[in-house]
């Protein structure tokens, strides 16, 4: 394996090049050969090297086929104007080079997928008539009627005389899926996510990728991922969970793969419950560490009236660090379970009162209600910014930039990541906890301000999942650092890390600064704006309750339209 060299970061192709997709595909193949050669067999390595050595148009057509759905293609339907040579000639060369199978076996479903009703109707007209059906059935009806009559796969010539139409089958698709996994770190992203996208529009953090930081250390781990993906595909196709369960790989020590397995078990449990297999659902969820699995397990045990078992599990879970949503769900279950097991009901969770106020404003001709409220509140000595989720997330992203882009195993796979692949995983924080704590020390010693400003200058425009650059002007960042106390930032950042996926949203729309006030006065306030008929969402209420508990100034402004007045008034 080649160690990452920032100077050798591959470049994405320019869209002005009609074969830009081929350049990007070659980037993927070379990256895998350079960085994951030890995870490939000799045969796979030779196949990929052979691909790179093909003529340009042969590689281009192969890339087009790899990017399409499935492995079977009608040669007469392949039209790519950017290729100078006739497609038929290129196909002939690829067949000769053993990249394409010229006479693949087609089952009945594949035949119906590849050919139109007009093409199929004459082929099966006599059979339909013999079975007592009309020759003019729809394609779907014809397929249903005939499927039991044609169970064996055949070559196209054995199905019918197609004239000019030919079907070819792409060889080595499994290998291209394997390198797609090694490059992206998942099989959810398609080739078009890289090959057909001009990534050059964005600037990416250059993360050093070494043997120690790779998600896959051994070929068996790639195989494990592919096996789990096969299980997930079967679940998506409706295969009973009980049939998929024996195929689920055993628990693994690789933390990144373990997280993928947890997600698979979560989904398998969902499918099992829907299919009436409650015991399998409980078993799957008990084996998953996904944050949603425990709650689902408890709710199902409750519905099955296994109250004692649910109470014991809930009691153990109660001692762990939970997000607000998890805590809320657990508290509701404990409240329902307590009388069932003869235990006192837990003390109700108290919430802090929300500071609410109203304002009457003239209805604007254009623009959202938030902008109308911002304009009403804005004053030279107390400027208002419409920030919603961008400011606090952005300050966090700037402060903790090195931690976010730390090359821990399973976080980065290639040079084009906008953020770590494990960002919303349950162990995102635990694998970096000491690093985050080191960042938070600067909130105590005062070093955070210069650190954030230096990062703002040094990383300007570079992709970060927490930083929306157009929303973070230097003036806004400096004003926020001047007015928001470090202890408030620390409190918000720590809550953010309790559940990154959940807590990145729900921040108030506006922030008003009061830079001229003394240090012992509140020098800022966050304001959630609600228009007529709008109401607070649960995740917004949880943030507002947190703000009240922490002494962070925040309120809700309810706007109503004053149709008769051109001047706004507050109540």
pLDDT band per the 50, 70, 90 thresholds, residue 166: very high
The pLDDT score that the predictor gives to residue 3 is 47
- Residue 567: is its pLDDT beyond 50? no
CB atoms within 10 A of CB 482: 12
221, 259 contact by CB (below 8 A): no
473 and 506 together in one domain: yes
Mean pLDDT across the stretch 356-379?
90
Does the residue 203 lie in any domain?
A: no
What pLDDT, in 10s, does the model give residues 198-212?
Answer: 455 568 898 888 877
Q: What is the 3-state secondary structure (H, E, C) of 488-509?
A: HHHHHHHHHHHCHHHHCCCCCC
pLDDT band per the 50, 70, 90 thresholds, residue 540: very high
- Residue 325: is its pLDDT beyond 80? no
- Residue 415: is its pLDDT beyond 50? yes
326 and 361 together in one domain: no
410 and 326 together in one domain: no
364, 565 contact by CB (below 8 A): no
Average pLDDT of the chain to the nearest whole number: 90
425 and 303 together in one domain: no
- Residue 183: is its pLDDT beyond 70? yes
323 and 450 together in one domain: no
β-pair type (356-361, 554-561): parallel
Up-side HSE of residue 85: CA atoms within 13 Å toward CB? 14
The last residue of one of the domains, among 184, 206, 237, is 184
478 and 518 together in one domain: yes
pLDDT band per the 50, 70, 90 thresholds, residue 187: confident
Does the residue 287 lie in any domain?
A: yes
Does the residue 258 lie in any domain?
A: yes
Q: Which of 195-209, 227-241, 343-357, 409-423 has the lowest mean pLDDT?
A: 195-209
The percentage of the chain sitting over the pLDDT mark of 90, rounded to a whole number, equals 67
What pLDDT, in 10s, does the model give residues 390-405?
Answer: 999 999 999 999 999 9
Separation in Å, CA 285 to CA 30, 304, 317: 40, 15, 14
537 and 435 together in one domain: yes
359, 373 contact by CB (below 8 A): yes
The percentage of the chain sitting over the pLDDT mark of 70, rounded to a whole number, equals 94
Domain of residue 251, residue span: 219-341
463 and 542 together in one domain: yes
Q: Which of 287-296, 297-306, 317-326, 506-515 has the lowest mean pLDDT?
A: 317-326
Does the residue 197 lie in any domain?
A: no
510: DSSP letter: E
The pLDDT score that the predictor gives to residue 9 is 54
Please, what's the b/e burial string for 214-236 (b: 16 or more CB within 10 A of its CB; e: otherwise)?
bbbeeeebbebbbebbebbebbe
528 and 382 together in one domain: yes
- Residue 264: is its pLDDT beyond 60? yes
Mean pLDDT across the stretch 134-145?
92
Structure tokens at 524: 């800022």
- Residue 6: is its pLDDT beyond 80? no
Does the residue 208 lie in any domain?
A: no
SS3 call for 513: strand
Does the residue 452 lie in any domain?
A: yes
The pLDDT score that the predictor gives to residue 565 is 53
Mean pLDDT across the stretch 214-229?
92
Nearest to 66 by CA among 17, 100, 89: 100
The last residue of one of the domains, among 300, 315, 341, is 341
pTM of the predicted model over 0.75 = yes
Domain count, the chain: 3
β-pair type (524-530, 384-386): unpaired
Dmax over CA atoms of the chain, in Å, equals 93
The pLDDT score that the predictor gives to residue 468 is 96
32 and 126 together in one domain: yes
Q: Which of 130-134, 194-198, 278-282, 367-371 has the lowest mean pLDDT?
A: 194-198
The pLDDT score that the predictor gives to residue 450 is 96
Does the residue 4 lie in any domain?
A: no
Q: Which of 22-31, 165-174, 194-203, 346-355 has the lowest mean pLDDT?
A: 194-203
The pLDDT score that the predictor gives to residue 319 is 63
Q: Which of 44-48, 65-69, 213-217 has the lowest mean pLDDT?
A: 213-217
399 and 530 together in one domain: yes
Q: Which of 144-158, 311-325, 442-456 has the lowest mean pLDDT?
A: 311-325
pLDDT band per the 50, 70, 90 thresholds, residue 15: low
Q: Which residue has the tokens 């809700």?
A: 556
Does the residue 516 lie in any domain?
A: yes
105 and 62 together in one domain: yes
Structure tokens at 480: 């926020």
């Amino acid at each position: 394996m080649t160690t990452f060299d920032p100077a050798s970061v591959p470049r994405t192709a320019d869209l002005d090049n009609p074969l830009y997709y081929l350049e990007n595909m070659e980037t993927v193949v070379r990256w895998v050969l350079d960085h994951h050669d030890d995870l490939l067999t000799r045969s796979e390595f030779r196949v990929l090297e052979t691909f790179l050595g093909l003529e340009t148009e042969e590689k281009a057509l192969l890339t087009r086929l790899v990017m399409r759905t499935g492995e079977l293609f009608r040669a007469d339907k392949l039209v790519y104007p950017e290729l100078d040579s006739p497609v038929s000639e290129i196909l002939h060369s690829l067949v000769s080079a053993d990249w394409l199978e010229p006479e693949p076996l087609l089952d009945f479903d594949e035949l119906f997928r590849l050919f139109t009703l007009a093409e199929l109707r004459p082929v099966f007209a006599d059979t339909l008539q013999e079975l007592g059906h009309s020759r003019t059935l729809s394609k779907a009806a014809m397929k249903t009627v005939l499927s039991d009559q044609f169970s064996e796969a055949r070559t196209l010539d054995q199905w019918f005389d197609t004239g000019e139409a030919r079907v070819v089958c792409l060889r080595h698709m499994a290998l291209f899926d394997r390198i797609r996994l090694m490059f992206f770190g998942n099989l959810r992203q398609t080739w078009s996510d890289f090959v057909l996208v001009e990534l050059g529009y964005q600037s990416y953090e250059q993360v050093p990728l070494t043997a120690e930081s790779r998600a896959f250390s051994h070929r068996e781990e790639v195989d494990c991922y592919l096996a789990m993906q096969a299980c997930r595909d079967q679940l998506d196709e409706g295969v009973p969970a009980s049939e998929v369960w024996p195929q689920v790989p055993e628990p693994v020590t690789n933390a990144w793969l373990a997280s993928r397995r947890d997600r698979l078990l979560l989904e398998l449990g969902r499918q099992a419950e829907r299919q009436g297999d409650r015991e399998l659902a409980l078993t799957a969820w008990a084996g998953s560490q996904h944050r949603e699995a425990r709650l689902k397990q408890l709710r199902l045990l409750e519905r099955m009236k296994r109250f004692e078992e649910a109470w014991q599990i809930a009691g153990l879970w109660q001692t762990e660090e939970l997000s607000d949503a998890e805590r809320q769900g657990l508290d509701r279950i404990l409240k329902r379970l307590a009388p069932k097991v003869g235990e006192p009901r837990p003390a109700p969770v108290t919430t802090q009162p929300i500071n609410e106020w109203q304002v009457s404003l003239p209805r604007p001709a254009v623009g959202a209600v938030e902008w109308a409220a911002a304009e009403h509140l804005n004053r030279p000595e107390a400027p208002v910014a419409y920030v919603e989720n961008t400011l606090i997330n952005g300050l966090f992203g700037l402060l903790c930039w090195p931690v976010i882009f730390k090359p821990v195993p399973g976080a980065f796979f290639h040079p084009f990541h906008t953020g770590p692949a494990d960002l919303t995983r349950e162990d995102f924080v635990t694998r970096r906890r000491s690093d985050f704590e080191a960042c938070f020390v600067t909130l105590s010693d005062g070093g955070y301000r210069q650190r954030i400003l230096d990062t703002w200058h040094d990383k300007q425009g570079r992709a970060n999942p927490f930083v929306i650059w157009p929303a973070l002007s230097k003036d806004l960042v400096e004003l926020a650092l001047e007015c928001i106390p470090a202890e408030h930032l620390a409190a918000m950042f720590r809550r953010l890390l309790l559940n990154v996926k959940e807590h990145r949203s729900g921040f108030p729309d506006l922030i008003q600064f009061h830079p001229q006030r003394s240090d012992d006065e509140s020098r800022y306030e966050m304001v959630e704006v609600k228009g007529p008929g709008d109401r607070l969402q649960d995740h917004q209420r949880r943030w507002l309750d947190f703000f009240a508990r922490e002494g962070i100034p925040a309120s809700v402004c309810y706007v109503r339209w004053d149709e008769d007045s051109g001047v706004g008034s507050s109540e």
